[in-house]
Structure 1
Amino acid sequence: MAQYQIAVVVGSLRRDSFNRKLATALAKLAPADFTFKQLPIGELPHYNQDDDAAPAESVKRLKADIAAAHGLLFVTPEYNRSIPGVLKNAIDHASRPYGQSAWKGKPAGVIGTSIGAIGTALAQQHLRNILAYLDVPTLGQPEAFVQAKDGLFDEAGNIGTGSLAFLQGWMDHYVAWVKKHAA
């Protein structure tokens, strides 16, 4: 049985981030041949093209973790109708220098949660535009704009019963997407 390593990029640094909880809970819905590694992005310096020739160790680790992965999972909040700056910073670091993007060709899933009624719909659309430019094949359907409300997670941190069938379906589609594109 093949093993699939998934690099998870959570676009929130907040200690009690709903999106970090979602990323952790989603990983439990995947089959046993999938493993998920949340990549640290908070320690990255601000992207500066002047540093491309001598990137920080945190940038080298990020790019190495992405290169080692068979797929990507982006779990992002929505800040001011777009993606958080820390997520954009990580994307920029791993896509540079020009022509040496670590993201290229890696199959991805995009999901997120927020307390708003539309979840993270606009942030996800902005992220999809960026990923399209970076040649990252991204799962288009089903979309998942998850509202963070009571019952999304149970007391153990798993997906709650009200959202379980939907998010299991999303994960099943994501797994199939990665297997199709990671071959």
Structure 2
Amino acid sequence: MSDIKVLVLVGSLRAGSINRQLAELAVESAPEGVTLELFDRLGELPFYNEDIDNDQVVEPVVALREAAAAADAALVVTPEYNGSIPGVLKNAIDWLSRPYGNSALQGKPTAVIGAALGQYGGVWAHDETRKSFGIAGPRVVEDLKLSVQTTAFDGKHPRENAEVAANLQDIVGKLAAEVG
């Protein structure tokens, strides 16, 4: 059996974000037979506009859709901005939802996790992201959840938190098991 490919999207553009660090940890600790590929170009996507979603769509959108089409599953790692989804991630969801009914992630298992400063660790954003992706075409795996308060890391990389690292590795393994 060939490797299972998981597309990783991060809802924060900040280079040092905890969510980017969680994504990097997921990539580093993927189980054997699972390859996680971080798509790190969400900031290059123009705002979704059906008028420019045509045969000449810009290259970053083509690259995102190709990465999604090549993936067997998706892992979305996102903070919470003002109680909801970061704009850059919502924009990516909109681009990935097209063409309607035939998106690049259509039917593919998708998990949403992340960290945020608030007392619930980003639960609102994670729930909204699951809802949007569920409408956009992927098969959201509702049982795979990880919402961590950023204060749990005490300024350290998530890999230094054994419980979070173990939970993340478990989620990636379970997401891979959903492929097929």
* Fold conserved between structures, TM > 0.5: yes
User: Post-superposition shift, 1:176?
Assistant: 2.5
2:159 alignment partner, SS class: coil
Candidates 95, 98, 105, aligned match of 1:96: 98
Decide which moves more: 128-137 or 111-120: 128-137
1:84-138, CA deviations, whole angstroms, 9 ceiling, x for partnerless residues? Answer: 1110111111211323311211111110111222111000010111122123222
Cα distance in 2, alignment partners of residues 89 and 151 from structure 1 = 29
2:12 alignment partner, SS class: coil
Contact 1:78 1:122 in 2 (8 A): yes
Cα distance in 1, alignment partners of residues 154 and 75 from structure 2 = 19
Cα distance in 1, alignment partners of residues 154 and 136 from structure 2 = 32
Candidates 140, 160, 163, aligned match of 1:165: 163
Taking a change above 3 Å as real, the CA distance of residues 29 and 7 of structure 1, as seen in their structure-2 partners, is same
Name structure 2 gaps, 5 residues minimum. none
1:122 alignment partner, SS class: helix
Structure-2-length-normalised TM-score: 0.89
Decide which moves more: 94-103 or 9-18: 94-103
Match of 2:138 in 1: 136
Cα distance in 2, alignment partners of residues 144 and 158 from structure 1 = 13
Candidates 85, 107, 110, aligned match of 1:108: 110
1:99 alignment partner, SS class: coil
1:143 alignment partner, SS class: strand
Match of 1:13 in 2: 13
1:39-90, CA deviations, whole angstroms, 9 ceiling, x for partnerless residues? Answer: 1211011111001212111101100000001110100010111101110111
Task: Specify which structure has the higher proportion of strand.
Answer: 2
Contact 1:43 1:58 in 2 (8 A): yes
Q: Aligned AA for 1:119?
A: G
Match of 2:45 in 1: 44
Q: Which 4+ stretches in 1 moved above 3 angstroms?
A: 150-154
Cα distance in 1, alignment partners of residues 44 and 32 from structure 2 = 30
- Residue identity (%): 38
Q: Aligned AA for 2:170?
A: D
User: Do residues 178 (structure 1) and 180 (structure 2) align?
Assistant: no
Cα distance in 1, alignment partners of residues 113 and 173 from structure 2 = 14
Contact 1:142 1:170 in 2 (8 A): no
Cα distance in 2, alignment partners of residues 126 and 150 from structure 1 = 23
Q: Aligned AA for 1:115?
A: L
1:139 alignment partner, SS class: strand
Contact 1:83 1:127 in 2 (8 A): yes
1:82 alignment partner, SS class: coil
User: Post-superposition shift, 1:28?
Assistant: 2.5
Match of 2:31 in 1: 31
Q: Aligned AA for 1:43?
A: E
Corresponding pairs, count: 178
State the superposition RMSD in angstroms.
1.9
